Amino acid sequence: MTASFLASFERAATAWTETAWAVAWQSVLVVAAFAIVAAGLRRASPALRCWLWRIASFKLLLMPLWVVVWLSPPLPPQPTVSRPSAGPAVPASEDPAPDFGRRPPGLGLDPDRPAVASAPAAKGATSWRSALFAAWCLGVVAGVGALVGQGRRLALALERATPTSDARLLGLVEELAGRLGLRRVPGVVELDAATSPFVCGPRSPILVLPPRLADALEGEPLRAVLLHELEHLRRRDLLWDWLPALARVVYVVHPAARYVAYRALLERELACDRAAMDLAGQDAAAYASTLVEVVSLPSLRRFAIPAASAASPNPEE
């Protein structure tokens, strides 16, 4: 049983190594091409560049499938079957002459000799392909476990959150959600462990705020902060962020996937910043002052958990 498993694992590792090597160097070329295009779009909107890097993430996820098809050997041509020419008919009453020169199957063979050669014994030592394949499998399992653990920690943190009772804040959130065209107004809760405002839950969206944020910010700064978070819901970032996150899981430690995820999340935040500035009527200097004021709040200096989304593998900050 163990020898059969090791042999099967070795065959899988050999096939994986060929695919992984092709994907490893081709993904670098693909990401480099996307980086060149992004450099040419540096004056374009951050939303456009964000979609560019999301497409790059999707391309990375499809690349292993394309490489498998590319490396697969072509199917052998089907042999043509030629029908023998019709010979003289043999009367039914006459039996064909026996062929004494042909040996019936199974006769004349050594009974002590096996008909089929036995399979070679499995190697005792694990090859480098098997070791590398096992390391990749462990890396994928660790990546999936990290995403599950992140969602679990957020769920436990939300159990300690308290719904806000500030009628002014609830009215402002409802107003801004309608301005952005959101079909569902998110619930608003306060969480002591929140390091910054964030949103979570694509089906039942929740806006999580640090305590006393509405008291510390007034007017346009508060509107800008809320618009930034609500813009994540309008853009459906909670769902689209799974593309770079899954690419990082599949590629484990490959720098190309990590760079794509970094650029996608960076452009995502810049796109929400741009929308918040435009809708709140703030310029870059005023918006930067708002961000500094948010991170300088006393309630955010205490020990806190990282902001994370239950539906998105990345924080919506």
Q: What is the pLDDT of residues 230-243, one digit of tens each?
A: 999 999 999 999 99
User: Quick check: 33 pLDDT over 90?
Assistant: yes
User: Quick check: 90 pLDDT over 70?
Assistant: no
User: Quick check: 185 pLDDT over 80?
Assistant: yes
Helix (H, G, I), strand (E, B) or coil at 188: strand
Which residue's entry shows tokens 């993904």? 27
Alpha-carbon distance 191 to 280, whole Å?
A: 25
pLDDT band at 266 (very low <50, low <70, confident <90, very high): very high
Contact 30, 60 (CB under 8 A): yes
Mean pLDDT computed over 266-271: 96
Q: Which two tokens stand for residue 71?
A: 């490396």
235 forms beta bridges with none
Q: Angle at CA 259, nearest 5°, toward 274 and 256? A: 145
Alpha-carbon distance 80 to 63, whole Å?
A: 36
User: Quick check: 41 pLDDT over 60?
Assistant: yes
pLDDT band at 280 (very low <50, low <70, confident <90, very high): confident
User: Quick check: 14 pLDDT over 60?
Assistant: yes
Cut 0.85: pTM above it:
no
Q: What is the pLDDT of residue 275?
A: 93
pLDDT band at 290 (very low <50, low <70, confident <90, very high): confident
Contact 297, 210 (CB under 8 A): yes
Alpha-carbon distance 243 to 233, whole Å?
A: 16
Q: What is the pLDDT of residue 287?
A: 85
Alpha-carbon distance 299 to 295, whole Å?
A: 9
User: Quick check: 70 pLDDT over 60?
Assistant: no
Q: What is the pLDDT of residue 293?
A: 78
Q: When comparing pLDDT for 297 and 225, which is higher?
A: 225
Which of 71, 69, 41 is CA-nearest to residue 56?
41
**Mean pLDDT of the chain, nearest integer:** 80
Q: What is the pLDDT of residue 277?
A: 92
Mean pLDDT computed over 156-172: 92
pLDDT band at 296 (very low <50, low <70, confident <90, very high): confident
Lowest mean pLDDT among 78-92, 150-164, 172-186, 297-311: 297-311
Helix (H, G, I), strand (E, B) or coil at 162: strand
Lowest mean pLDDT among 18-32, 77-91, 263-277: 77-91
Q: What is the pLDDT of residue 186?
A: 95
Query: Cβ–Cβ contacts within 10 Å for residue 313, how many?
Result: 23
Cα 221 to the center of its chain, rounded Å: 34
Q: When comparing pLDDT for 27 and 2, which is higher?
A: 27
Task: To the nearest 10°, report the CA torsion of 257, 259, 263, 265.
Answer: 60
10-14 long-range contacts (CB < 8 A, ≥24 apart) are 10/122, 10/123, 10/127, 10/129, 10/130, 12/133, 13/127, 13/129, 13/130, 13/132, 13/133, 13/134, 14/129
Q: What is the pLDDT of residue 5?
A: 80
User: Quick check: 194 pLDDT over 80?
Assistant: no
Q: When comparing pLDDT for 208 and 220, which is higher?
A: 208
User: Quick check: 125 pLDDT over 70?
Assistant: no
Distances (CA, A) of 262 to 23, 172, 244: 20, 32, 8
300: DSSP letter:
G
Q: What is the pLDDT of residue 161?
A: 92
Alpha-carbon distance 264 to 258, whole Å?
A: 10
Lowest mean pLDDT among 29-38, 123-132, 231-240, 285-294: 123-132
Which residue's entry shows tokens 């300088």? 296
Alpha-carbon distance 18 to 13, whole Å?
A: 9
Please report, for the chain, the start and end positions of each structural domain, with discontinuous segments joined by +.
Answer: 151-300
Q: How buried is 268 (Cβ within 10 angstroms: 0-12 exposed, 13-18 middle, 19+ buried)?
A: buried
Which of 212, 263, 215, 229 is CA-nearest to residue 32?
263
Mean pLDDT computed over 271-299: 83
Listed in order, strand segments (DSSP E) in the chain are: 162-163, 187-190, 198-200, 206-209
